[in-house]
Chains A and B, each alone.
Chain A
Amino acid sequence: MRIALFSTCIVDGMYPKVAKATVDILERLGHEVVYPQGQTCCSQMHVNSGYFDDAYPIVKNHVESFEEWDFDVAVAPSGSCVASLGHQQPMIARHGGNEDLAKRAEMLADRTFELSNLLIDVLGITNASEQLGSYFPHHVTFHSSCHGMRLLHLGTRQQDLLRTVEGLEYTQIEDIDQCCGFGGTFSFKNADTSGAMVADKVMHIEKTGASVCAGGDVSCLMNIGGALSRKKSDVRTLHFAEILASTKESPLKIDGPVSLSIAGGK
């Protein structure tokens, strides 16, 4: 199968290791990954900040970049950005008076999947250890990001994949359905409220005793990780794709700077 990767702007610029891990998992399953080079961002930051006119050229760029390529499905290691494609891009196209672009955005959104959604529902993966060779002998807890949970209805897909990783010890966090306080520009426009929210999230994470807090959206993980770092906590944040990509042959180490060596020189 040919899978187009939508890296998302924040993974592309800040967490390339998550995109590499995503590629690694999909190639391990025998799929071809392509990367439409024109892509940038889903436009969510602009939309959620109320800058609809500024969002328009970003939406247009996204749709056109992916239309340049032929592929079977597109995938993104983010629930929030995938939700934005179906939920906000058509709205922005219509706001800009372009019904044709709105329809094309809808069609592209229908073919774009969040990673765990793709792995389980399209590719039939039910056991990370057996089918992906995933190995990660660490104590892990998990933050369930709001948009994956409430807009994409991912349920426990991401956690279920994590929990079948060989060697992984899992502890569920208290109040798992609570927002971490990120919310895009909310995090600095309403800094104090957001700070109070992430402080509670960090407290719950530390209560689990886990050494890693995994998640499916690096934006939330940057918020949580940033607050953990400020507290000088030993707990680190990782995207679940990084954990799924870790194998016995090429294990992801969590002491020292986190980096992932990907088999096959990629």
Chain B
Amino acid sequence: MTAVSLGMPRVYHGEGNIFETEAFPKYAAKELTNEQLRANLGFATHKIRTKREHVVGELPDWQGLRTAGSMIKQRVMANLPEYLEMFEKNFTAAGGHVHWARNAEEANQIALDLIRAEGVDEVIKIKSMATAETGLNEYLRENGVEAIETDLAEEIVQLADDRPSHILVPAIHFNRTQIRDIFLKKIDGVSVDLSNDPADLAEASRIRLRDKFLQSKVAVSGVNFGIAETGSLSIVESEGNGRMCLTLPDTLISFMGIEKLLPSFEDFEVFLQLLPRSSTGERMNPYTSLWTGVTPGDGPQNMHVILIDNGRTAVLDDEVGRQALHCIRCSACMNVCPVYERAGGHAYGSTYPGPIGAILSPQLGGIENEYNSSLPFASSLCGACYDACPVKINIPDVLVHLRGKAVDHEKAQGDFKGGKKDPHYQMDAMMFGAKQLFSSGKLMSLAEKGLPMSKLVTGKDHKISKFPGLVGGWTKYRDIPEPPKESFRNWWKKEAPKASRRDSSERVDIQALIEQNKGKVVEAHQQAEQRGQTIAHPAEEKEQ
């Protein structure tokens, strides 16, 4: 008799471009020395940030929209198998073909087979995160097919033989002079007098791409939204290159992550309000394409969609982490992120940079991956991403959750390659010591009696400027002040009057007091405003 396991089905992690190539702190340290990159990023993120704040502020029901978006996505995730089958049925009924891919390799293979069946060696592409994730372009090239990016920023990055560093603005790390130089080098027949004016740069790209649009037989796209009820697909874009790709070629192959579904057409309306405002800071995006199957004699006659898992079901398996699948790839989180703004997108390794990447990549690829386990720690947990997220993904909470998983995994491994110098060892030791101390007020009190000893290390200038080991990271940029001679706890023990214990029946009704003082916040603000500089609320008290 053979033993049969009745446990949970095993989860399959994804592959492709969802991994760090080295730990985040190291990669970031290199990027931080690039002054030009920091200037470009600072300028661009601040600009989009301001635009977004403006158009979001215009909507009286923004918080309601966020809630609606979040709830629709929760419904999709709770019923994903049913919605996927509904989508498959309706997409097929409308004349399309549905393909299922468990991972990046399978998705790429399916696409290559479809392209080969058309007998072409060049395809045009709409900017797509899913194909970047699966590494389609590289895969096709290895197999003799050229994929031409038609989104301006993707084209720049492709011509520069570089990687995108942002979801929405892949070339955010280049400024216009750098872009002109790339065009001069890489576009055949471009005028040597090409200026760095955005209109001139766009024109150079337009001339190059026009021929491609008219001659290509096959286009590859991603998908912004799939609608289960009707079997429709949608692409939201700014430049019109997408519309060209979706309508001119005979064959259209769309890559879609299985989480991209919306239940019905009605739900689409919520996201068409959320996405452009959060992403480009526009009220409405210039082009919204929506198609349902094949129309004889009009548009692509061969329509394919490749539904990709590549680790998504593993994400769905995590009760806390699964909200990462709600992401609509707007990039608002990276535009407000102080870490992204300094380190840049490449430091995150994966196709998905910034705060969302820090929670998505380690879940798609598995926290067990040596380098991806550094991603959840690449955040100061300031929470700006959560406030900006149009579908209310609680990124800081998921980051902390994944840190827990990373530590558990690392502890289970149990070996410290670097011995006592291994940062993991030092972290474990520090946390263990602090735990012992923080578990008892008595022990704290005793330990704090040693505070005057700190004099031995602070020296004449009353500060610590260099600390060994892990904490050396702190003293690389800052001093540590001299600790006090006596802790508060020990001072209080000596100085404070002995309070008598009392009974809970003597308790004041705090809720009643709060009710009574309801207008005081506004009153305090007004009193302060009368005395000088007027200031705005740094963050309005918003509903989460």
Contacts and interface: CB of A to CB of B under 8 A. Distances in A.
Interface in B81-108: none
A15 to B, nearest CB: 7
A54 B532 contact: no
Contact of A191 (B382, B403, B432, B476): B476
Contact of A266 (B342, B493, B496, B532): B496
B513 interface: yes
Contacts of A55: 435
Interface in A158-175: 159-164, 169-172
A23 to B, nearest CB: 8
A40 B477 contact: no
A9 B377 CA distance: 23
Interface string A49-77: 11110110110110001000110110000
A35 B438 contact: no
B342 A17 contact: no
A56 to B, nearest CB: 9
B539 A177 contact: yes
A111 B504 CA distance: 13
Contact of B28 (A16, A171, A190): A190
Question: Which applies to chain B's interface (DSSP): helix, strand, loop or mixed?
Answer: helix
B489 interface: yes
Nearest to A43: B438
A261 B483 CA distance: 18
B427 A196 contact: no
Contacts of A46: 431, 434-435, 438
A48 B440 contact: no
Interface string B2-28: 000000000000000000000011001
Given A7-B489, A177-B538, A179-B338, A151 B383 contact: yes
A204 interface: no
A49 B499 contact: no
A36 B435 CA distance: 19
B406 to A, nearest CB: 6
A229 B464 CA distance: 10
Contacts of B477: 191, 194-195, 198-199, 226-227, 230
Contact of A16 (B343, B382, B488): B488
A126 B518 CA distance: 12
A223 B378 contact: no
A157 B523 CA distance: 10
B487 A16 contact: yes
Interface string A184-206: 11111111111111110000000
A1 B508 CA distance: 7
B507 to A, nearest CB: 6
Given A51-B407, A72-B507, A153 B542 contact: yes
A17 B487 CA distance: 9
Contact of B382 (A146, A192, A265): A146
Contacts of A12: 444, 448, 487-489
B539 A160 contact: no
A164 B502 contact: no
Nearest to A11: B488
Interface residues of B, number: 101
Interface string B478-512: 11110110111101110110010111101110100
Nearest to A9: B438
A242 B517 CA distance: 24
B516 A124 contact: yes
Nearest to A177: B538
Contacts of A160: 524-525, 527-528
A34 B502 CA distance: 11
Contacts of A176: 538
Nearest to A145: B382
B382 A193 contact: no
B493 to A, nearest CB: 7
B514 interface: yes
A191 B343 CA distance: 12
A189 B479 contact: no
A182 to B, nearest CB: 6
A155 B538 contact: yes
B504 A163 contact: no
Nearest to B428: A51
Contacts of B444: 9, 12-13, 40
A156 B537 contact: yes
B146 interface: no
A170 B527 CA distance: 14
B524 A157 contact: yes
B37 to A, nearest CB: 12
Interface in A103-137: 111, 120-127
Q: Which of B400, B462, B493, B532 has the most chain A CB atoms closer than 10 A to its own CB?
A: B400
B384 interface: yes
Interface stretch (B193-201, B276-284, B297-305, B465-473): B465-473
B540 interface: yes
A181 interface: yes
Contacts of A25: none
B431 A49 contact: yes
Nearest to B467: A188
A197 B342 contact: yes
A98 B477 CA distance: 41
A248 interface: no
Given A12-B489, A70-B502, A126-B524, A153 B541 contact: yes
B440 A61 contact: yes
B459 interface: no
A8 to B, nearest CB: 10
B427 A226 contact: no
Interface of B: 24-25, 28-29, 32, 38, 338-339, 342-343, 376-384, 386-387, 400, 402-408, 423, 427, 431-432, 434-435, 437-442, 444-445, 448, 451, 462-463, 465, 470-474, 476-481, 483-484, 486-489, 491-493, 495-496, 499, 501-504, 506-508, 510, 513-514, 516-517, 520-521, 523-525, 527-529, 531-533, 535, 537-542
Q: Which 4 A-B pairs have the closest CB atoms?
A: A183-B380, A226-B478, A191-B473, A188-B473
Given A120-B520, A187-B380, A223-B478, 19 more contacts: A7-B488, A34-B499, A40-B437, A40-B440, A51-B404, A52-B408, A120-B517, A150-B383, A157-B524, A176-B538, A178-B338, A185-B377, A190-B24, A190-B25, A191-B25, A191-B474, A193-B343, A193-B378, A230-B479
9 contacts: A32-B499, A37-B441, A156-B538, A157-B524, A161-B528, A171-B533, A188-B473, A189-B423, A199-B477
Interface of A: 1-2, 7, 9, 11-17, 19-20, 32, 34-41, 43, 45-52, 54-55, 57-58, 60-61, 65, 69-70, 72-73, 88, 95, 111, 120-127, 144, 146-147, 149-151, 153, 155-157, 159-164, 169-172, 176-179, 181-199, 222-223, 225-227, 229-230, 257, 265-266
